[in-house]
Chain A
Amino acid sequence: MSSHYEAPIREPLVLGEKSYHDISVDVGAPVLGKANKSWWIVFTIALVAFLWGLGCIIYTISTGIGVWGLNKTIGWAWDITNFVWWVGIGHAGTLISAVLLLFRQKWRMAVNRSAEAMTIFAVVQAGLFPIIHMGRPWLAYWVLPIPNQFGSLWVNFNSPLLWDVFAISTYLSISLVFWWTGLLPDFAMIRDRTKSPFQKKIYGILSFGWSGRVKDWQRFEEVSLVLAGLATPLVLSVHTIVSFDFATSVVPGWHSTIFPPYFVAGAIFSGFAMVQTLLIIMRKVSNLENYITVLHIEYMNKVILLTGGIVTVAYITEYFIGWYSGIPYENYTYLSFGAATGPYWWAFWALITCNLIVPLSLWVKKLRRNIMWTFFVALVINIGMWFERFDIIVVDLSKDRLTSSWTMFQPTFVDIGTFMGTIGFFFVLFLLYARTFPVIAQAEVKTILKSSGESFKKLRAEHGDDASHVQTIEEYPADAGPSANVEGKHFKSVFDDSTEEDSEKNQVDFEQYRGKIDNLLSGIGTFDPAVHKQDDLKKISGVGPVMEQKLHQLGIFTFEQVSRMTDREYDLLDEIISEFPGRAKRDDWAGQALTLKNKN
């Protein structure tokens, strides 16, 4: 049907011969399977880092902020650097899920779930820093506008720091419901596919009883669209407000009017770098290379190029204006000749190298599509964007208007430990997520399968744009068995060891015995490939490949079915397959199958 048409020049977004069922299987696999060794190793490292950071946080809170390397001149350093860095990283998730939804970009569907997860986990890390920085985090509720014992002295709504409180909490909570609403159908898929009763219960609760009614889907799509419309200005507002923390001050280098757009671009820049870092690993570990393809990586690299370009222009503007203003104080801001040659020259050049020079390599298509190089560039950008915030905060403060108070910042082990701890915490959350959540929005990917799937694109290339996309139905076993057995691919393996002619000869005449087959199956139960697993019936002595094939044709696939056979079923079987009368009973197939079933 032509409604699935997509220009052939567009590369496929889903590789391989995938059916809807394959998508469920591939997305469900990391959740339903067991964790491998590398997962445990990385998880342990992350957990150790997290616990170390937790120790540093407890030490800070119990002793006081004095344990950090702050001094009288530099009263903000790593804590706010880390805060802005983490908030910035969060922005890519919302950009992918909201802005790209409004632009109807199909490639977002494979990456939005993980990007949103990254957003939420990153904002959680970001939120920690202002709370720790309060010094007395148990009084954190003072930032809320609630009546209090000081004659109702309200919070200051003129302050960008309070705007931050509202912006970050709105951002976190809206991202969370956006994420969760999108997760409902995917949790439901896991709930309906898992065999473990425990998982069924848990995912039943998590999926909120999602049933997939047509009305639910209609509302779901509308809600997603409206949330995307709300989240788009929201994400722009969040980093705008974060930049106000600096831009509304009077510190040279901070009170810059280009901060809002420049911070937003920088946030998306660093966020996409983090998405690349995470997804390049995840697609490999969770075997999702067919869904998160090189094309996805290239698209994200293009966003990095664009936002990196905006950031570059902003840097040059800052540098130029600092010089052009002729104000001597401006010569000590983080983007100035003074900074490039001063004591923080290494921080200045780290910023320039990581954010300006290295990303330029992505203009080369070969490098943009090179996964290893992309991974390297993403790491470099992550570092560079951390330095950007460090430079803005520490370099600008280190040389203020009073020459006598010029100083440097020296982080203590607590500063470093807390930062490492949040990285550990972030990865702990992300790794747990990767094992328990459907990491790809499978319901959404299914909607683009026919337009952007490789096999469907091939189908159209070979048979014209009007080729039917209705899955070919191979009626098998005729119409005697349950229709869940229809899809040819489930049974391909059955015929692998016999040629076409053999199987022709071995065909059971269904029409003749139809009633009896139904009767037989009603006694032993039907096989449903969606919930049952096929057993190797050849393990039963007396069942060879030919007999197994015949049993399969009748719709018997599992030990469980065979084990339910009684005299009545043996007789029916003998009537249908007349070659070895009495054999099944003599060999006691039911008893054997019961033993084999219990062994499994």
Chain B
Amino acid sequence: MAATKIHAIYTDDDLLMQAVKQTRAANYHISEVFTPFPVHGLDHAVGLAPTRIAITSFLYGLVGLSVAVAMMNFMMIHDWPQNIGGKPSFTYYQNMPAFIPIMFELTVFFAGHLMVITFYMRSKLWPFKKAENPDVRTTDDHFLMEVDADNHDVEKLTKFLYDTGASEISLIENEQDH
């Protein structure tokens, strides 16, 4: 496990983007980047795979739709069919026009909430979770790039990071894994 890391702080998003590209081109490994706002194209520059969270949302939506259909089919068609305002209740299909609003609402309800819960779980966000940004300024106007320093000459790496425009460079040892 990587034990030695270097935290390089930048004061500008364009500078950070440039530094990320240079660092990756020089075959150093960027283990994390903390930014105060979404920097356009940074995920791509760091080499992250695209997120699949939208796909989960679609699947959750299908679940919601199925729940709505199953629920109303059971309640209105099978368990207790009623003649309400002459609307046909013999089959689900015949009564369906009246069920469309709730089919839609439940699709959205499941797709939205379950996706957000998935996001919170995957990104480890919940009440009483301790923040893990190493420097408080990274939620304000500073950008922090964490580079693995194992198997690298720290002096050389520091010099390299300095040349990429880092305004602050610190060596972090024995960082706990999380």
Tell which of B80, B99, B111, B127 touches A230, judged by Cβ atoms closer than 8 Å. Answer: B111
Q: Which residue of B lies closest to A225 (CB)?
A: B54
Is there contact, CB below 8 Å, between A166 and B102? yes
Taking A189-B139, A215-B43, A234-B108 as contacts, is the C-beta distance between A209 and B80 under 8 angstroms? no
Query: Counting chain A CB atoms within 10 Å of each CB, which of B32, B72, B133 scores highest?
Result: B133
For B131, give its contact among A145, A188, A487 (CB under 8 Å): A188
Residues in A whose Cβ lies below 8 Å from that of B119: 181, 219-220, 223
For B56, the closest partner residue in chain A by CB is: A226
Interface check B46, CB cutoff 8 A:
yes
Task: Give chain A residues whose Cβ lies under 8 Å from the Cβ of B139.
Answer: 24, 185, 188-189, 191-193, 210, 212
Q: Is A103 an interface residue (CB 8 A)?
A: no
CB-based contact A211/B131 at 8 Å: yes
> Shortest Cβ distance from B50 into chain A, in angstroms?
8
A170 to B75, CA, bound (A): 20
Map CB proximity to B onto A1-34 as digits: 1 under 8 Å, 0 otherwise: 1010000000000000001110010000000000
Find out whether the CB atom of A447 lies under 8 angstroms from the CB atom of B38: yes
| B109/A157 in contact, CB under 8 A | no
Determine which of A191, A214, A241 lies in contact with B35 in the assembled complex, contact meaning CB atoms within 8 Å. Answer: A214
The reply to whether the CB of B152 lies closer than 8 angstroms to some CB of chain A is no
- A351 CA / B104 CA spacing, docked (Å): 33
Q: How many Å from the CB of A571 to the closest CB on chain B? A: 29
Contacts of B11 in A (CB 8 A): 471, 473, 486-487
Measured between beta carbons, the chain A residues less than 8 angstroms from B37 are 20, 185, 217, 442-444, 446-447
Q: B123 to chain A: which residues have CB within 8 Å?
A: 213, 215-216, 219-220
Q: Which residues of the partner chain B approach A442 to less than 8 Å between Cβ atoms?
A: 37
CB neighbors of A among B48-94 (8 A): 48, 50-51, 53-54, 57, 71-72, 75-76, 79-80, 82, 84-85, 87
- In the complex, chain A residues whose CB is within 8 Å of the CB of B131: 188, 191-192, 204, 207, 209-211
The CA of A214 and the CA of B106, in the complex, are separated in Å by 32
Q: What range describes how many residues of A lie at the interface?
A: 35 or more
Does B129 sit at the interface, judged by CB under 8 A? yes
Question: In the complex, what residues of A have CB within 8 A of residue B120's CB?
Answer: 208
In the complex, chain B residues whose CB is within 8 Å of the CB of A405: none
Within 8 Å of chain B (Cβ to Cβ): is A470?
A: yes
Which residues in window 178-192 of A have CB below 8 A to B? 178, 181, 184-185, 188-189, 191-192
B42 within 8 A of A: yes
B116 within 8 A of A: yes
Residues of B within 8 A of A231 (CB): 112
Q: Complex: how many Å from CA A19 to CA B167?
A: 17
Question: A227: which of B99, B106, B116, B130 is its contact (CB, 8 Å)?
Answer: B116
Binds B, one of A40-48, A148-156, A381-389: A148-156
Q: How far is the CA of A152 from the CA of B81 in the complex (A)?
A: 12
Q: Does A366 contact B (CB under 8 A)?
A: no
Closest residue of A by beta carbon distance from B33: A214
**In this assembly, does A455 line the interface, its C-beta being within 8 Å of a C-beta of chain B?**
no
Q: Which of B9, B116, B138 contacts A177 (CB 8 A)?
A: B116
CB distance from A574 to the nearest CB of B (A): 29
Residues of B within 8 A of A213 (CB): 32-34, 123, 132
Q: Which residues of B contact A469 (CB under 8 A)?
A: 12, 14
**A227 near B112: Cβ-Cβ < 8 Å:** yes
The 3 A-B residue pairs with the shortest CB-CB distance, nearest first, are A209-B129, A20-B141, A192-B136
What are 15 A-B residue pairs whose CB atoms fall within 8 Å in the complex? A157-B102, A178-B112, A189-B139, A192-B136, A212-B36, A212-B138, A213-B32, A213-B33, A220-B119, A222-B53, A223-B53, A227-B115, A446-B37, A482-B168, A486-B11
Extra pairs beyond A192-B139, A218-B51 (10, CB < 8 Å): A153-B80, A181-B116, A189-B36, A214-B39, A217-B39, A227-B116, A450-B14, A482-B168, A530-B140, A531-B136
